[in-house]
Amino acid sequence: MSLLSDISWDDFEGLALLEKGPFFCPDGREAHVILAQQFTRERLDSLGELATCIRRISKTHDGMDFLQGVLSHKRAMLYFSQPSTRTFLSFCAACEILGMKLGEVRDTSMSSEFKGESQEDSVRSFSSYFDLIVMRSKIGGLAERMAWMLSNSERTVPIINAGSGKDQHPTQAVLDIYTLQRSFEKTGGIDGKRIVFVGDLLRGRTVRSLSFLLTQYRDVEQVFVAPDQLQIGEDIQQMLSAAGVKFSLSDDLRGELPNADAIYMTRIQDEWDEKGGDSAKIDISSFSLGLDELELMKQAAVIMHPLPRRTEIAPEVDHDSRAVYWRQMRNGMWVRAAMSATIFGKQDMVLEYGEMHGA
Ligand code: NCD
């Protein structure tokens, strides 16, 4: 068994992402949620099944009362030092559905970090009061380091990475998979589909995490459509080649639309510009979806977006039955509830209730 408490930070840090994965799931289920690379297809299926069960149970008053008791003995800390609306609220809602009490730090200028406290010490303080820490940070790899640190302290509190730097957004990627599973339920599932990513692929962490998860499915082809300056990184291309995945790069969105089964749109991540305004100089006019582009798409295709959007999807597109981004957002709440229940070993209790009550 791979245990974070058995390995030094230096040795752990030096491992490849795929080697790190099992350390976050030592018993075969999530102890922390840190990297996309910790999820096998089997785990994605189990989390999807549990998310659906929670979603169905929540439809009745009695079901909601049951869910409220699942983690009513636990407290969660939401530590978001980077802007967030939906991920933050989605975790609030997920934790509340399971009856958890919540604490939050969103503005570090109001916390002891402003007085010079390190993030390590802040997280250690949270672990004294809370049973789960959900964190978002602009520092790549921070959640990973915190999970190692807490696993080597007297109070091993689970960490969920709600977005770290430009590198990872594992909970978003799992909810994206859940959305694809649901969208392709009647058309043979995710296997064999062609997924087209569009936008700022260089700096979008959701694409990086999802691209890896899709390698778990058979014969999925990945297409990356972006202006040259924002194309997907070499590391992802190498990861796909090593996994034997068919992929291609393009700058022609209209040319790719007719063969796409899912279009995953993203915004320009200009908060990462080295000089303010750098990405405003890039011509992104042909990387957006409007009513004309819809005409080119398959009837059974789906349009996704992690949100927030800017101009890359025209609001008129929202009314098209292929636009699933609002449903995708709501799926996030169920998936995050499923992850939280699993971290605390409550998955079987929920599934049994679901079975008994026809959910
Ligand atoms: C994404 C993020 O924070 O990486 N948002 C989200 O969590 N849904 C995407 C983005 O900000 O563009």
Q: Is the peptide bond before 308 cis (omega within 30 degrees of 0)?
A: yes
The whole-number average pLDDT for the span 23-30 is 95
In this prediction, residue 277 carries a pLDDT of 85
Helices (H) and strands (E) in the chain, counts: 14, 9
Pick the closest to residue 144 from 29, 33, 63, 242 (CA basis): 33
Overall average pLDDT of the 210-221 stretch: 98
* Ligand 1 center–CA 91 separation, angstroms: 14
Output the pTM of the full model.
Answer: 0.97
pLDDT tens track for 182-214: 999 999 999 999 999 999 999 999 999 999 999
What's the gap between Cα 219 and its chain centre? 22
C-alpha closest to that of 266 among 319, 209, 320, 213: 209
Q: What is the pLDDT of residues 118-160, one digit of tens each?
A: 989 999 999 999 999 999 999 999 999 999 999 999 999 999 9
DSSP 175-220: HHHHHHHHHTTTTT-STT-EEEEES-TTT-HHHHHHHHHHTTSTT-
Assess whether pLDDT exceeds 90 at residue 359. no
From CA 293, how far away is CA 253, in angstroms rounded? 9
Predicted local confidence at residue 108, as pLDDT: 82
Q: Among residues 41, 96, 7, which one has the least CA distance to residue 215?
A: 41
* Smallest CA separation from ligand 1 atom 6, residue: 306
Given pLDDT bands bounded at 50, 70 and 90, which one contains residue 334? very high
Angle, helices 347-356/325-343, rounded to nearest 10 degrees: 120
- Residue 113 has a pLDDT of 80
- Cα–ligand 1 centroid distance for 206 (angstroms): 7
Pocket of ligand 1 (CB under 6 A): 86-87, 163, 169, 172, 205-206, 266-267, 306-307
In this prediction, residue 54 carries a pLDDT of 98
Q: Whose CA is nearest to atom 1 of ligand 1?
A: 306
Spacing, Cα 209 to ligand 1 middle (Å):
12
Pocket test for ligand 1, best of 84, 169, 310 (most atoms within 8 A of CB): 169
Q: What pLDDT digit, counting tens, does each position of 261-306 carry?
A: 999 999 999 999 998 889 999 999 999 999 999 999 999 999 999 9
3-14: pLDDT as tens digits = 999 999 999 999
**What spacing in Å lies between the alpha carbon of 306 and ligand 1's midpoint?**
6
Q: How confident is the model at residue 352 (pLDDT cuts 50, 70, 90)?
A: very high
Index of the ligand 1 atom closest to the CA of residue 169: 4
- Cα–Cα distance, 268 to 129 (Å, whole number): 38
46-61 residue pLDDT tens: 999 999 999 999 999 9
* 191: alpha, beta or left? (left if phi > 0; alpha if psi -120 to 50): beta
Residue with tokens 């499915």: 217
**Candidates 172, 176, 305, 329: which one to mutate for ligand 1, based on the most atoms within 8 Å of Cβ?**
172
Nearest residue CA, atom 3 of ligand 1?
A: 163
Q: What is the pLDDT of residue 309?
A: 97
Give the model's pLDDT for residue 111: 82
With bands split at pLDDT 50, 70 and 90, how would you rate the model's confidence at 112? confident
- Name the residue at shortest CA distance from atom 7 of ligand 1: 87
Q: Tally Cβ neighbours within 10 Å of residue 98.
A: 23
**If pLDDT is split at 50, 70 and 90, which confidence band does 29 have?**
very high
pLDDT band at 163 (very low <50, low <70, confident <90, very high): very high
Q: Which letter does DSSP use for residue 247 in this model?
A: E
> What distance in Å separates the CA atoms of residue 342 and residue 344, rounded to the nearest whole number?
5
